[in-house]
Amino acid sequence: MGCMRKATLLRVGVYSLAVVAGAVAVAAFVTRPLPAAQAPATTPGLPPEAMAWIPGGEFWMGSEEPRFGDARPVHGVRVGAFWIDRTEVTNEQFLRFAEATGHVTVAEKSPRAEDFPGAPAENLVAGSVVFAPPAGPVPLDSHFRWWSYLKGANWRHPEGPGSDLQGREKFPVVHVAWSDAQAYAKWAGKRLPTEAEWEFAARGGLDRKPFGWGDEFKPGGKFMANSFQGHFPEKNTAEDGFAGVAPVGSFPPNGFGLSDMAGNVWEWCSDNYRADYYPTLAAAGGVAVNPQGPADSLDPAEPGVTKRVMKGGSFLCTDQYCSRYMPGGRGKGDPDTGTNHLGFRCVQDVPAARPVREPR
């Protein structure tokens, strides 16, 4: 459930989704052995605070999961080494950034009429997109049945003007636009991960497993991620302990020591989103070295809307609808639209790294 645009909500409120374009052409998938990721003998210097070392390496990226039309084919990718935040950026971390810089997020500013043609003037009020479950079961044909634009919602007020961050210091910051995440990363001396880096990190050193921890969603009956149980979207039984967002690190970390790489909140990546990017990479042959995403964006479901990649799924992900807590799944979003299930984490380059761009 990663694609909900503020612009559309502001304009019409209720809207029928365009038919999602059929599965992208699948390039021939040739199974070739890739060397397992190998950690260098030593990590460079002291670990930055609260970051984990990702050794880099080659891996199979993407997913053959039938519902993920844009994650095929699985293709070989190499990423360099980097540091990555062990957790999603929290409210207290984002508060330090906001206080240090005076940064005002997109959701805190009134939408400008020229940016939202067709929106009635009374709708041009600062706010953000929140999950608002319907009273009863609904067809899963349109996410407008459970998303709405809430005036006054932003990262300081996640559920609108009546809510605040009291007791939510360790929760992931939400309602951040892609540019807000970029600004934070720059301030922190970091950057957003590429989609390839993010997925390599999320796989925790495992090879082509459906989940970041292995083969089963609930190994030994144990929840490994904050997702949605019950009946989507109206009845969340919160069997995993959380009906909404959870404090970071509430579930077991993966093999690289990273928490919440599945579920909790979606995480922005730096890449442009194109549904046909993986077939393009696979068709180029060989191993894609440190892919940075396509030069432009195309989502056949909403042509003309530039989108960025997001990964990991959220507390709203369920196998009834989306299942994108699987590391190979891909999300996409309008960079100006934050929601209450979308956040981010950052990466940092290794200072003494060799150049990671190599010829194919």
In the complex, the residues that contact Ca ion under the rule CB under 5 A are 226, 240, 242, 315
242 binds, among Cu ion, Ca ion, none (CB under 5 to 8 A by kind): Ca ion
Q: Rounded to an integer, what is the distance from CA 63 to the centroid of its chain?
A: 16
Would you count residue 313 as binding Cu ion (CB under 5 A)?
yes
Residue with tokens 């209720």: 14
In terms of Cα–Cα distance, which of 354, 351, 209, 205 is closest to 289?
Answer: 354
* Least CB distance to Cu ion at residue 2 (A): 6
Would you count residue 311 as binding Cu ion (CB under 5 A)?
no
| Contact window for Cu ion (CB under 5 A) among 83-91, 207-215, 318-326, 345-353 | 318-326
Residue with tokens 């207290």: 92
* Least CB distance to Ca ion at residue 356 (A): 36
Which CB sits closer to Cu ion, 153 or 317? Answer: 317
Binding residues among 323-352 for Cu ion as defined by CB under 5 A: 324
Report yes or no: 238 and 257 within 8 Å, Cβ to Cβ: no
Would you count residue 1 as binding Cu ion (CB under 5 A)?
yes
Which CB sits closer to Ca ion, 93 or 227? Answer: 227
- Cα–Cα distance for residue pair 73/278, rounded to 1 Å: 6
317 binds, among Ca ion, Cu ion, none (CB under 5 to 8 A by kind): Cu ion
Among 107, 258, 322, 326, binds Cu ion (CB under 5 A): 322
Which CB sits closer to Ca ion, 83 or 131? Answer: 131
- Cα–Cα distance for residue pair 78/63, rounded to 1 Å: 16
341 binds, among Cu ion, Ca ion, none (CB under 5 to 8 A by kind): none
Bridge partner residues of 77 (DSSP)? 59, 288
Q: How many residues of this chain bind Cu ion (CB under 5 A)?
A: 5
* Least CB distance to Cu ion at residue 40 (A): 35
324 binds, among Cu ion, Ca ion, none (CB under 5 to 8 A by kind): Cu ion
Which CB sits closer to Cu ion, 279 or 331? Answer: 331
* Least CB distance to Cu ion at residue 324 (A): 5
Taking residue 296's Cβ as centre, other Cβ atoms within 10 Å add up to: 9
Among 317, 326, 347, 350, binds Cu ion (CB under 5 A): 317
Say how many CA atoms lie within 13 Å of 6 toward its Cβ.
Answer: 32
Residue nearest to Ca ion as judged by C-beta position: 242
* Least CB distance to Cu ion at residue 288 (A): 26
Which CB sits closer to Ca ion, 87 or 194? Answer: 87
Burial class for 29, CB neighbours closer than 10 Å (0-12, 13-18, 19+): middle
* Least CB distance to Ca ion at residue 340 (A): 14
DSSP string, 261-289: SSBSSEEEEEEEPBTTHHHHHHHH-S-EE
Which CB sits closer to Cu ion, 196 or 310? Answer: 310
- Contacts by 107-116 with C-beta closer than 8 Å and gap 24+? 107/153, 107/154, 107/155, 107/175, 107/176, 107/177, 107/338, 108/154, 108/155, 108/156, 111/6, 111/10, 115/7, 115/336, 116/6, 116/7, 116/10, 116/11
Bridge partner residues of 344 (DSSP)? none
Residues that bind Cu ion (CB under 5 A): 1, 313, 317, 322, 324
